[in-house]
Amino acid sequence: MQRRIPLIIVLLTGIFGAVAFFVPYPAIRNADEIMRNDVQRIITAFSLVLGVGSIVQHHLLKIRRKAQFWPYSYITIVALVITAIIGVFGGIDVTRPGVLPTRVGNFSFHIQTIYSNMMVPLAATMFSLLAFFMSSAAYRAFRARNLEATLLLLAAFILMLGAVPLGRFIHHRLPAFAEWILAVPNTASKRGILFGVELGIFATSLKIILGIERGWLGGGGK
Amino acid sequence: MGRATLYVPGLSSMADVATIASLNILGEVAKKTAQFGTPLIVPTSDPIVYTVAREVVKESYTAAGRPDAFHQDIVFFVTDQQFAFAAAVDGIMTREKPATNFLIGMFWAESLILAETGAATGAIQIAGTDAIAQLPFFITACDYTLIGEELYAASAYISREPVLLGAIKAQDYAKALITIIIVAFSLIALGLNLPVLKWL
Amino acid sequence: MEKENILIRLQRIDRRWIYLVLWLVVMIPLIFPFKIQPQPTPSVEKLFNYIDTMPENKALAISVDFTPDTRAELQPMVVALLRHAFATQHRVGILTVQVYGLGLAEEAIRQVTAEFNANANTRADSVIYGEDYVFWGWTTPVLTVMLGMGERITNVFPIDYYGNRTETLPIMQHIKNYDDIGILVTIAASAIPRSWINYAQTQFGVNLSCGITAVSAADFYPYVNSGQFIGMLAGMKGAAEYEQLVRERMVKNGMEWVLRNRGTEAMSSQTAAHLAIMAFIVIGNIAFFATRRKRK
């Protein structure tokens, strides 16, 4: 019974989701809107509670057990609590203050300040690491070991040349050729993989809706 | 057996079939780590994925006869922010130095950040995704990579269930059919010089 | 022997040296930039021309679907699109399906509206909230937004980002659903553009285009070729090319203002980084072949 109820829910909602996509009948449309607008939103909101609960529990356990690097857990919990309090009670920015005073003289620490001055630069730093990792990966991996590797190397080289003004100086049609590599051979191979992927998604979705695939319920499908 | 196994089930939600396929594989990985007493670390970036992953791991530990080895700390939610999650997982990789990293599921631009950090720590890395643009990064930085549909095939294959394995065969037939249709229509288009060829 | 040692060492070079070289190569052109004139590629031109020739009663919708981490690469696209829409007198609706996109969208709106209003002489020249543009804000889940906007936008976003009832805004009399949107451009660093195709385009036939990070660009070429996306802006280069076209358009319209084009500004740095990576590949291969020959 513990398994059967979730499987029935999946079967019914799965079939309904597919039907609602194709049938424009008003009753089905309305029911679909309730599912999307209300049910999904409620589930999403409650899932946030689960997430916050997990992160707090994980770090409290680390602190209690004095696990390796446990002092960092204090940073996470303190940051979480302060940001949540400012976010809920401190208003959005200077023009829209909240109940909590978030201004000392000219310095304000409302949620927009945290967002613009902490989150944006921290996240951008992480993304910019990609350039470093990409160059080191290119240095190690792009070796003309065999015919396939040489072709890969040549294609990458032409694409990079096409992206810089130097490419135009070498040959005026080089950027167009680089674009052609992306748009034609690259797209063709991608479509080949995409067919396989989409068929895999279709088959897996069907197996889940029909209850054949149950691994996601736990217990490895038994 | 002292070093941990890190399993990242991607950054997408349960609405993504790649995540579901990844959780199926996680179930089998968790059984093995339970059998050998290897520590398992499963950071997640979606609260619902976290809940499901926890249940999957818990059931696997029970199925492996080691329910006592399961603890709440194995699976945890980190953040739903893409690069904050990458930073947290990179931190785990450099601090805990796992022996094996599984990066299986849906990944985006953070794929190389995760895979390169893992490579730098000397871990054996197994990746799998149907995000085609991320495949070159995984192939470069990981030891083994499941490409596109192999992720779904692995998920079915690992379970050894005949019904699930049958679906792989059905997919192959469908692919053969699509290939025949593409070749046939391409030949017709070429023969009749249809305008569809103009964009080439 | 000495030469061989250098080649072997080059093969196993500590990756931190590569990081250092790249850091210098990126930083120096940012401090001492050299001028680069972006040459628009066909996919960028296609999007530009579509918006440029769109009927005036059709609105441009911009979905700011990225997070702060990709701001440097993607924010110039939002700014350039807003400038283009205001310069060609199209109504604009802005939304986000990523909660973290709210701040980024607001930042771009504030910047571009300030630019236009600072140079406006009459009320007709200025851009007014609720009449010329609207910021619908964010709501969840993604599916609700994409499907719901096809029926009635005010149902999906009953209240805008600034707390106004969207029904009371004059602009909403002209933008009821996808039928009133000429094109929706999603700016993202994830698979969200694909979801826009799957739900919004498949069901309601809305015209779409996308701006994405260079690292994900290859993923979207199949959709550009099939016509599901009307052109595409790929990475900083795409942003710089669009900026170039918008700049030319604004000059044509008599708007010879001095504006910062952050995409174009970063091109010198990006060009230098590309050249450095190419040099790394060449050096790596020379070392690889030289040591392999020695071993034989």
B83 and B179, same domain (yes or no): no
User: Kind of pairing, strands C59-65 and A107-108?
Assistant: unpaired
Domain span at B200: 166-200
Q: How many domains does chain B have?
A: 2
B105 and B182, same domain (yes or no): no
A205 close contact with B: CB closer than 8 A: yes
- The single-letter code of the amino acid at B118 is G
B67 and B149, same domain (yes or no): yes
Q: Which residue of C has its CA nearest to A149?
A: C285
User: Which segment of A79-83, B55-59, C119-123, C167-171 scores lowest on mean pLDDT?
Assistant: C119-123
**A58/A115: higher pLDDT:** A58
First to last CA, chain B: 55
CATH of the domain at B137: 3.40.50
DSSP class of A97: B
Domain span at A165: 142-222
Q: Report the pLDDT value the prediction gives residue B197, as an integer from 0 to 100.
A: 57
- Reported as a pLDDT band with limits 50, 70 and 90, residue B198 is low
Which of A113, A120, A174 should one mutate to test binding to chain C, selecting the residue with the greatest count of C CBs within 10 A? A120
Asked whether the beta carbons of residue A50 and residue B130 sit closer than 8 angstroms, the reply is: no
- Reported as a pLDDT band with limits 50, 70 and 90, residue C166 is very high
- Reported as a pLDDT band with limits 50, 70 and 90, residue C295 is low
Q: How many domains does chain A have?
A: 1
Distance CA(C236)–CA(C111), nearest Å, equals: 19
Asked whether the beta carbons of residue B109 and residue C218 sit closer than 8 angstroms, the reply is: no
pLDDT for A98-107, tens place per residue?
888 888 888 8
First to last CA, chain A: 14
Phi first, then psi: give them for residue B42, nearest 5 degrees: -125, 90
Phi first, then psi: give them for residue A105, nearest 5 degrees: 65, -125
Q: Is the pLDDT of residue B39 over 60?
A: yes
Tally: H helices and E strands in chain B? 7, 6
B102 and B182, same domain (yes or no): no
A35 found inside a domain: no
Asked whether the beta carbons of residue A196 and residue B112 sit closer than 8 angstroms, the reply is: no
A94 close contact with C: CB closer than 8 A: no
A66 found inside a domain: no
Asked whether the beta carbons of residue C216 and residue B106 sit closer than 8 angstroms, the reply is: no
B154 and B72, same domain (yes or no): yes
Q: Report the pLDDT value the prediction gives residue C3, as an integer from 0 to 100.
A: 60
Written as six digits, the tokens of C181 are 């949107």
User: Average pLDDT of chain C?
Assistant: 91
B143 and B195, same domain (yes or no): no
- Alpha helices per DSSP H over chain A: 4-22, 26-34, 40-65, 71-89, 111-114, 120-141, 147-163, 165-170, 174-181, 187-209
Distance CA(C52)–CA(C65), nearest Å, equals: 23
| Residue among B52, B42, B37 at smallest CA distance from B7 | B42
A3 found inside a domain: no
- The single-letter code of the amino acid at C143 is L
B52 and B123, same domain (yes or no): yes
B76 close contact with C: CB closer than 8 A: no
A175 found inside a domain: yes
Share of chain C above pLDDT 90, in %: 68
Q: Which residue of A has its CA nearest to B13?
A: A44
For residue C70, the chain B residues in CB contact (below 8 A) are 109
pLDDT for A92-128, tens place per residue?
777 778 888 888 888 888 888 888 888 889 988 998 9
pTM of the complete model: 0.85
Written as six digits, the tokens of A58 are 């994980």
Written as six digits, the tokens of C52 are 């440029």
Q: Which residue of C has its CA nearest to A140?
A: C284
Written as six digits, the tokens of A171 are 């040959």
- Reported as a pLDDT band with limits 50, 70 and 90, residue B195 is low
User: Average pLDDT of chain B?
Assistant: 90
Written as six digits, the tokens of A139 are 């240095």
B83 close contact with C: CB closer than 8 A: yes
- The single-letter code of the amino acid at B65 is G
pLDDT for C29-78, tens place per residue?
999 988 888 889 899 999 999 999 999 999 999 999 998 888 999 999 99
- Reported as a pLDDT band with limits 50, 70 and 90, residue A20 is confident
Counted across chains A and B, CB pairs separated by less than 8 A come out at 172
Q: Report the pLDDT value the prediction gives residue B114, as an integer from 0 to 100.
A: 95
Which of A13, A164, A184, A205 should one mutate to test binding to chain C, selecting the residue with the greatest count of C CBs within 10 A? A164
pLDDT for C214-270, tens place per residue?
888 888 988 998 899 999 999 999 999 999 999 999 999 999 899 999 999 999 999
B63 and B102, same domain (yes or no): yes
C10 close contact with A: CB closer than 8 A: no
B66 and B32, same domain (yes or no): yes
Which of A120, A138, A143 lies closest to C68 in CB terms? Answer: A120
B34 and B127, same domain (yes or no): yes
Angle, CA of B111, B113 and B118, to the nearest 5°: 95
Q: Report the pLDDT value the prediction gives residue C240, as an integer from 0 to 100.
A: 95
